[in-house]
Structure 1
């Protein structure tokens, strides 16, 4: 995971799996990103290279969202795969995270 400050957002780039073992790494990256984000510069979680996310990852995102809301900062998920979108959907948390989906190339994700 990495945190990158861009002109228009602070990006957390997630690679691989987020589970019980790696969830704390995501939590730390999100906390670092939130220290750099502002109401004018949102936090974007780049999920394009995320292969799996379980409840530990979802919990990290929900805690970060709660912290962000208190500070007036938006959190967006960029390019979440089908599994991530399904996790958000079945847990009822999909409406909490604005999604930026890449253009469809006709291949399901």
Structure 2
């Protein structure tokens, strides 16, 4: 059972890039919420979605699968998904399973926007 529910906020920046902020725990119980938010993101050529995970306290394999699926959907449409603000533990998991080679990962949302602009 999730002790800290997941909240997601999606905002559109000037220029059309989007930032999705996830706060709380991303697990089997909360992954459908993130999936629903990501399903509403329109991807197209040159689009950028920054997923700010700086306030994510937990992420299991279900949550990682949701992020991978969004990345694949964006890539197929000519867009990009960049992850930002991963804590040390989550960053280490991404390195161990090789997802640091799959995703663009930036230290902060601002860095991700600069890199994607």
TM-score class, shorter-chain normalisation, is 0.7 to 0.9
The answer to whether 1:73 aligns with 2:58 is: no
Unmatched 5+ stretches in structure 1: 103-109
- The runs of at least 4 consecutive aligned structure 1 residues that moved more than 4 Å come to none
TM-score, normalising length: structure 2: 0.79
1:99 corresponding residue in structure 2: 105
Corresponding pairs, count: 100
Structure 2 Cα separation of the partners of residues 70 and 40 of structure 1: 11
Q: 1:25 aligns with which of 33, 43, 47?
A: 33
Deviation at 1:100, TM superposition (A): 1.3
Structure 1 Cα separation of the partners of residues 44 and 56 of structure 2: 25
Matches within 5 A, 1:29-108: 29-33=37-41, 35=42, 37-102=43-108
Deviation at 1:67, TM superposition (A): 0.6
Structure 1 Cα separation of the partners of residues 105 and 94 of structure 2: 11
Unmatched 5+ stretches in structure 2: 1-7, 109-117
Over the residues paired in the alignment, what is the CA RMSD in angstroms?
Answer: 1.3
TM-score, normalising length: structure 1: 0.84
- Where 1:94 maps in the other structure, the secondary structure is coil
The answer to whether 1:4 aligns with 2:14 is: no
